[in-house]
Amino acid sequence: MSGYPHGVAQATRTDPLRVLEEIKRQSLEALGGLPGTLYGPVEDALKLAALKSDGKVNHYEEQAALWVLRQHQATHVMRFRQQVAQSFDDFRALRIRSGGDVTLRLVDEQQLEYELASGRLNEALVARFARPLDTLQSRLQTLADAMRVPMGANPIGPERLVAAFSQTLLDAQVPDTLRGRLFRFYETDLIRVLGELYARINTLLATSGYGGAAPAPRPPQEDLRRFQDDVLVPTPHMGGFGGTHDGFGGQHSPGPVSAAGAGNFGRTLSTPMSQQDIAAMASELSQLRSQLHAWRDSVPRADSHGMPGSGFDRSVGQRREMRVDEILSVASLLQAEPPDAFARALAVSGRLGETIRDHLQDGARRLGLNPDQACFSAEEEDAIDLVALLFDSLFRHNALQDRARRLYARLVLPYVKVALTDNAVFVKREHPARRLLDAITEACEGNDGETPQDRELLDRATEISQRIVAEYNEDLAVFELAHAELDALLAQQRRRFELQEQRAAKATYGRERLGAARSQAENALHERTGETTLTQAVADFLAMPWRHHVVQTLLRDNVDQRRHAEAIALGDALVMADRLAQQNRGRELADQLLALQPAIIECLASSGLDDSAAQHGLAGLVRALVDPDTSRRVRPAAPLSVQEDDTGEAERRLWLAGGTDTVRHDPLLAERMRALEVGDWVRLVDADGESAAAKVAWVSPLTSRFLLVNRRGLRVLAASAEELAALATSGRLTIGAERTAFDEAMRQVRRHLDRGTGTR
């Protein structure tokens, strides 16, 4: 979906009132569902918190308050829309902005809490959207001048949107903890929506003739100017990896930042960065390139390049280094062509870099550039190698299906162009191209398209990759809009994945409780039948109805220990009744059976027998005990048949069979595994040798086992710390994995470079 408006005149200014009404319409369309869309995710978060706390924390007050909020959802949505609409009226000066003297009054505690929460949220949003807000403020000023009204507050600025949310819920009785959750989810939704909304509104104002003056970039400090100009402010003619080799291995700009560079700087750094962050990024990039150069020097030329005319074969003096703009022109020419060559290269580890070079040189020939007379510069070689290693790592270390290979192959050349013009993509975690690749990987990893939702994700990711190929021309806004669209769909799917995590945790916990209850019942039965001579009727009763009754009391009445004690006492009383019958103590036996009648009937009823069948079973038991000469012997009970659970065979083989002593493991490594917390990520190699990311979703309060799920919330493994240590020793488990696919891929790239140079 394009973010550009249609039917807006560009030659002359459009009527300012019509423009303001269009901004109002688009804003209400994007924001109008709030705050009603928050209640469902907040409810899911409360359920997850209750599950993780295992009943130790009472969330009843929050759940009750949330239930009341959901009853008034329509009212809250209408009130919020009215608040947003009122902000546009204030901007048009239709309301009196100052009422003269302000009456002083006391602020109640609840309003004070809302104001504090609003202030924190407003600061976070202003910092995140600083650049588009500066541009929007300038263009709204031009719009206000055209309407001949004094400039008011930005009607869709963070301050007004946060105030609208606070005013909407001000009269509701919301506990402090629930208020915090609501503000956090509101912030998440605003971040998801505002980036695309501000881009569309800025574009609308600009194309309607209200461009205003672009805000001047802040002057960087002198000691960091080189990194800001060369690494964070690339231009099509002075790319991040092109030009003269300087201290960072990048382009040293001969003069101040150009206008084009400043514009790219605004797109790349949507939030202000501190000097420490910039210095850290410069150091990280410098270290990465040093690793890359050391790795390239350690690899034979035929393996690292595999082609004549490589940028590293500079023995021929006549060969010149191609400029970045020439490489960009070649890449743009090839970008729309079928990505079959890249798809085949992704299927063979280490071939992608060679394929990219062959492809670019072939394109250079078609543009009239003779590869025998021109070669890639060292910085261009860096960009090609890093993109090749990145995509190869993404495809090797994520559970991606064959369909995803062509999707990723389609993105290879656009990301080569990004790396040539803006190498901050490798070190800046908020880079739009980086975030888009994370979202695409999240949509594709482990997705085999079995459900309609999964197929929708795959189709949308494919569509977005095609759009990047068609629209990307050194403007990172394409990545921002594409990420916003895909992330909006993923946000809906993440709620489904969270529910799947909860169901997986509940199912695992239920199986563990059942297993523990059966184990206790087996032990109790063995204590009473292992060495005791019993009649067949009593032994059968204890082995079947009574053992089942003990399991039921443990599962259903786990908190009420009295019920379990009564069930155990029934088993002891039946053994005693059998002994009384053997000793021909008829009166005591009769009294015993009469006293046990209610408990025996209840025991039989728990096995599904109605009152008539229970009475019949009791009668059979009495008949067997009235004859003292009935045969008695030790009757060990057969193990209770256990129904197979729904775990896979590969997973069952990893579970402990007879205790931790049956698994050989490193105790120190097992201690590290015990330190894993819910939300930590690991990398797990399954029985088929495929690597995939897995998250610790739950830790069992009964067995301390860890439940690992994939990015789609589906169970991957349930194992103890000792089993995880054994997997880590065998190289099938790696702890400390990054949360996002791009970060993990870059970590794997660094490890690959270190292994290639023998530094690790």
Strands (DSSP E) found in 241-339: 320-321
CB 391 within 8 A of CB 408: yes
**Residue 125 included in any domain:** yes
| Residues paired with 683 in a beta bridge | 693, 734
**Residue 246 included in any domain:** no
| Residues paired with 533 in a beta bridge | 634
CB 751 within 8 A of CB 760: yes
Q: Are residues 327 and 461 in the same domain?
A: yes
Q: Residue 389: its pLDDT value, please?
A: 93
Q: What is the DSSP letter of 426?
A: G
Tokens found for residue 245: 């080799």
Q: How far apart are CA 423 and CA 555, in angstroms?
A: 58
**What's the pTM value of the predicted model, to 2 decimals?**
0.53
CB 226 within 8 A of CB 246: yes
Q: Residue 54: its pLDDT value, please?
A: 56
Total domains in the chain come to 4
Q: Are residues 229 and 179 in the same domain?
A: no
In the block, which residue shows the tokens 């495929």?
690
Low-confidence ranges of the chain (pLDDT < 70): 1-12, 52-59, 94-114, 212-274, 300-318, 557-560, 628-629, 634-662, 687-688, 736-738, 756-760
Q: How far apart are CA 5 and CA 530, in angstroms?
A: 82
CB 243 within 8 A of CB 251: yes
Residue type at position 674: R
Q: Are residues 175 and 230 in the same domain?
A: no
Whether the upstream peptide bond of residue 35 has omega within 30° of 0, thus cis, is yes
**Residue 711 included in any domain:** yes
Q: Are residues 734 and 596 in the same domain?
A: no
Q: Are residues 546 and 678 in the same domain?
A: no
Order of strands across the sheet with 681-685?
715-719, 706-709, 691-699, 681-685, 733-735
Q: Are residues 40 and 153 in the same domain?
A: yes
Q: How far apart are CA 514 and CA 213, in angstroms?
A: 69
Question: Strands 533-534, 633-634: parallel, antiparallel or unpaired by DSSP?
Answer: antiparallel
Domain containing 200 equals 16-97+105-207
pLDDT tens, position by position, 22-67: 898 899 888 888 888 888 888 877 777 777 665 555 667 788 888 8
Which of 634, 666, 694 corresponds to the end of one domain? 634
Q: Are residues 547 and 594 in the same domain?
A: yes
Instruction: Pick the closest to residue 427 from 251, 296, 293, 241 (CA basis).
Output: 241
**Residue 66 included in any domain:** yes
Tokens found for residue 204: 């609308």
Q: Are residues 299 and 328 in the same domain?
A: yes
Q: Are residues 282 and 394 in the same domain?
A: yes
Q: How far apart are CA 23 and CA 207, in angstroms?
A: 13
Instruction: Pick the closest to residue 656 from 664, 666, 648 (CA basis).
Output: 664
Q: How far apart are CA 682 and CA 685, in angstroms?
A: 10
Strands (DSSP E) found in 625-746: 633-634, 681-685, 691-699, 706-709, 715-719, 733-735
DSSP string computed for 617-658: HHHHHHHHHH-TTS--EE-PPPPPP----S--HHHHTTS-SS
Burial class (CB in 10 A: 0-12, 13-18, 19+), 158: buried
CB 40 within 8 A of CB 182: no
Q: Residue 246: its pLDDT value, please?
A: 36
Q: Residue 387: its pLDDT value, please?
A: 94
CA distances in angstroms from 660 to 333, 733, 748, listed in the order given: 61, 18, 32
Q: Are residues 580 and 443 in the same domain?
A: no
Q: Are residues 412 and 542 in the same domain?
A: no
**Residue 595 included in any domain:** yes
Q: How far apart are CA 583 and CA 481, in angstroms?
A: 88
Tokens found for residue 343: 């798809």
Q: Residue 109: its pLDDT value, please?
A: 55
Q: Residue 758: its pLDDT value, please?
A: 63
**Residue 266 included in any domain:** no
Which of 148, 172, 207 corresponds to the end of one domain? 207
| Residues paired with 695 in a beta bridge | 681, 709
Instruction: Pick the closest to residue 267 from 436, 431, 440 (CA basis).
Output: 431
- 556 Cβ neighbours under 8 A, 6+ residues apart: none
Q: Residue 390: its pLDDT value, please?
A: 92
Tokens found for residue 183: 């503000």
Which of 588, 613, 634 corresponds to the end of one domain? 634
pLDDT tens, position by position, 389-418: 999 988 888 878 777 888 999 999 999 999
**Residue 169 included in any domain:** yes
CB 159 within 8 A of CB 122: yes
Q: How far apart are CA 178 and CA 61, in angstroms?
A: 9
**CATH of residue 651:** 2.30.30.140
Q: Residue 630: its pLDDT value, please?
A: 73
> Helix, strand or coil for residue 633?
strand
**Residue 241 included in any domain:** no
Q: Are residues 656 and 571 in the same domain?
A: no
Task: Please state the φ and ψ torsions of residue 170, each to the nearest 5 degrees.
Answer: -60, -40
